[in-house]
């Protein structure tokens, strides 16, 4: 590892590409935010409901006329909503074990199951099985019992279990309200990174149930089988955990989670402004509409929000995951409740989901606090699509969906891959995944490299600003400034001065193209 110091750092830092004074996203440092949440959880302050009033506030401000009881429905109503969501969006698929283990009755003696790189288990505080990434959780009752016992023994000593490491395998625990989440990993992810991933899974469960409803269920019945209310949602969790592969094609999706950010579909500023204007003009008069999100290929095209309210990248990931988890959205308009835990963990937003047209696979998601708003939102979507078609924006979106960032085209082929996060607006720019990382094994190694260097530069014990590491097969760079984070891999035979020159050239190109590559304003209704 080589430490590069001033004036080189000052030279590169002066660019600050994509720096923006306003953002529609809540911009936070993922590690710092997670540390605060964990600290609150350990002190028993997790359920303080600090953001629980957002939906009630919106209803009150806009005089929606929706009774307060709709914010958190009773047991029967939530079950009905959950089942409706599963049948309309997820086509209720059984949680089949991965890796061909469906016929195995004893996973603990199945070499194929034991050798999986990662396992994720979810159980209630009473030890009731809820979910297993690989295998049927009913056949793992003994293992779930051991995990619950470990948590209970440590809690009896007024402590919380975090992790166990044995023979190169990490067993990582996340104890949240009413639930125990456990990950078993052979990968190089740190304990904190794995716990952050488990937090995403926890948020995915809350997106179906809401926190207050789940708490009430377990307060009344500690042995309640939560799977009764999560039917069909296993597929959402599966997709969230397998986010590195989309339709068997390698993607940059894991790095969205790692950097707590969102990727943007590159579009000219004129096209993006036309799209945003179409959304604003057709939605501004619809009361109680909180967010309008247009996405394609797991990338954000436009986001328009109600004034005073922002969306967290973790909540946006849930929306992306919902769309990416099912093909059924392409066949019609879907109306479904969803809880966005960072926005309001105790209430639902009602979500109108539809693709713009058969010839443009961009998906429009409209989120409101009004459960009766389906028809106004459906009409708005039709008008938005008509305006975008007349202005040739649908064609521009289609063209952008088939383009990536090719480093050879930019003129820096010595950089194999990079991640650039603009900290002021929580947006991420990634290059195409190419050789030697474009195979499953190669991408797994690239992912491991990024997780390792990201953990080291954000270390709680010794946080760094710059790491340049020469490895046998590549050179790795991690650079954190006040305005951005940059992670990159280089060809192995270049020297440090060449690395700096290449980084300067990359940052100069990003600065030049920032209006194409990023959303630099925060439009509202």
The model's pLDDT over 479-492, given as tens digits with 9 standing for 90+, comes to 999 899 999 999 99
Q: Three-state SS for 130? A: strand
Please say if the pLDDT value at position 320 is more than 80. Answer: yes
Joined together, the tokens standing for residue 254 give: 């894991």
pLDDT of residue 23: 84
Q: Do 265 and 296 contact (CB within 8 A), yes or no?
A: yes
* Order of all β-strands in the sheet with 169-176: 129-132, 118-124, 179-185, 169-176, 163-166
Joined together, the tokens standing for residue 2 give: 């080589």
Q: At what angle do helices 393-401 and 374-390 cross, to 10 degrees?
A: 90
pLDDT of residue 19: 82
What share of the chain has pLDDT > 90, as a percent? Answer: 70
| pLDDT tens sequence across 77-95 | 333 333 333 333 332 233 3
pLDDT of residue 39: 62
Tracing tokens 């969102």 back to the chain, one arrives at 262
Q: Three-state SS for 343? A: helix
pLDDT of residue 177: 83
Q: Do 457 and 451 contact (CB within 8 A), yes or no?
A: no
| pLDDT tens sequence across 352-394 | 999 999 999 999 999 999 999 999 999 999 999 999 999 999 9
Q: Three-state SS for 337? A: strand
Q: Do 9 and 486 contact (CB within 8 A), yes or no?
A: no
Averaged pLDDT, 454-483: 93
Please say if the pLDDT value at position 273 is more than 90. Answer: yes
The CA distance from 30 to 44, in Å, is 21
Please say if the pLDDT value at position 38 is more than 50. Answer: yes
**Burial class, 328, CB count within 10 angstroms (exposed 0-12 / middle 13-18 / buried 19+):** middle
Q: Three-state SS for 466? A: strand
Q: How confident is the model at residue 50 (pLDDT cuts 50, 70, 90)?
A: very low
* Residue 3 phi, psi dihedral angles, 5° rounding: -90, 120
Q: Which residues share a beta bridge with 162?
A: none
Which letter does DSSP use for residue 415 in this model?
E
pLDDT of residue 75: 37
Residue by residue, DSSP assigns 55-123 as HHHHHHHHT----GGGTS--HHHHHHHHHHHIIIII-----PPTTS-TT-S-GGG-HHHHT-SEEEEEE
The CA distance from 55 to 61, in Å, is 10
pLDDT of residue 61: 78
The CA distance from 504 to 492, in Å, is 18
Q: Do 226 and 237 contact (CB within 8 A), yes or no?
A: no
The CA distance from 394 to 131, in Å, is 40
| pLDDT tens sequence across 91-128 | 223 333 444 444 556 788 889 999 999 999 999 999 99
Joined together, the tokens standing for residue 110 give: 């199945």
Distances (CA, A) of 129 to 118, 121, 199, 227, 228: 18, 8, 18, 9, 12
Joined together, the tokens standing for residue 519 give: 């959303």
């Amino acid at each position: 590892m080589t430490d590069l110091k001033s004036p080189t750092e000052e030279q590169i830092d002066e660019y600050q590409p994509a720096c923006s004074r306003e953002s529609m996203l809540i911009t936070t440092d993922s590690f710092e935010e997670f540390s605060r949440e964990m600290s609150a959880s350990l002190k028993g302050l997790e359920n303080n409901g600090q953001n629980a009033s957002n939906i009630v506030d919106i209803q009150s401000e806009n005089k929606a006329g929706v009774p307060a009881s709709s914010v958190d429905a009773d047991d029967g109503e939530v079950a009905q909503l959950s089942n409706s969501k599963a049948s309309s969006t997820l086509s209720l698929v059984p949680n089949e074990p991965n890796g061909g283990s469906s016929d195995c009755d004893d996973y603990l003696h199945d070499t194929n199951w034991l050798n999986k790189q990662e396992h994720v288990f979810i159980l209630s505080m009473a030890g009731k099985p809820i979910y297993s990434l690989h295998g049927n959780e009913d056949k793992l009752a003994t293992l779930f019992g051991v995990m619950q016992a470990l948590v209970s023994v440590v809690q009896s000593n007024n402590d919380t279990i975090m992790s166990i490491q044995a023979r190169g395998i990490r067993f990582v625990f996340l104890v949240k309200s009413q639930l125990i989440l456990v990950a078993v990993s052979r990968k190089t992810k740190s304990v904190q990174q794995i716990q952050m991933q488990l937090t995403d899974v926890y948020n995915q469960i809350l997106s179906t149930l809401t926190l207050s409803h789940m708490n009430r269920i377990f307060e009344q019945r500690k042995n309640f089988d939560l799977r009764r209310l999560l039917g069909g949602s296993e597929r959402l969790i599966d997709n969230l955990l397998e986010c590195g592969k989309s339709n068997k094609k390698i993607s940059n999706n894991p790095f969205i989670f790692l950097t707590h950010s969102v990727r943007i579909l590159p579009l000219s500023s004129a096209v993006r402004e036309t799209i945003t204007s179409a959304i604003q003009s057709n939605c501004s008069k619809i009361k109680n509409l909180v967010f309008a999100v247009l996405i394609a290929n797991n990338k954000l095209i436009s986001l328009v929000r109600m004034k005073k309210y922002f969306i967290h990248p973790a909540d946006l990931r849930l929306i992306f995951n919902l769309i990416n988890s099912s093909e059924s959205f392409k066949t019609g308009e879907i109306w479904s409740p969803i809880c966005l835990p960072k926005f309001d963990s105790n209430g639902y937003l009602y979500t109108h989901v539809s693709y713009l047209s058969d010839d443009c696979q961009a998906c429009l998601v409209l989120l409101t606090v009004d459960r009766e708003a389906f028809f106004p939102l459906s009409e708005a979507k039709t008008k938005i699509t008509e305006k975008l078609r007349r202005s040739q924006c649908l064609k521009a979106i289609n063209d952008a969906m088939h383009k990536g960032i090719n480093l050879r085209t930019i003129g820096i082929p010595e950089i194999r891959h990079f991640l650039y996060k603009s900290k002021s607006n929580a947006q991420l720019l990634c290059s195409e995944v190419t050789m030697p990382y474009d195979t499953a094994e190669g991408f797994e190694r690239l992912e491991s490299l990024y997780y390792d260097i990201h953990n080291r530069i954000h270390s709680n014990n010794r946080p760094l600003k710059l790491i340049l590491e020469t490895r046998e097969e590549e050179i790795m760079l991690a650079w954190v400034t006040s305005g951005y984070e940059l992670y990159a891999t280089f060809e192995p035979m270049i020297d440090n001065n060449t690395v700096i020159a290449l980084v300067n050239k990359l940052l100069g190109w990003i600065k030049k193209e920032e209006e194409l590559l990023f959303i630099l304003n925060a439009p509202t209704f």
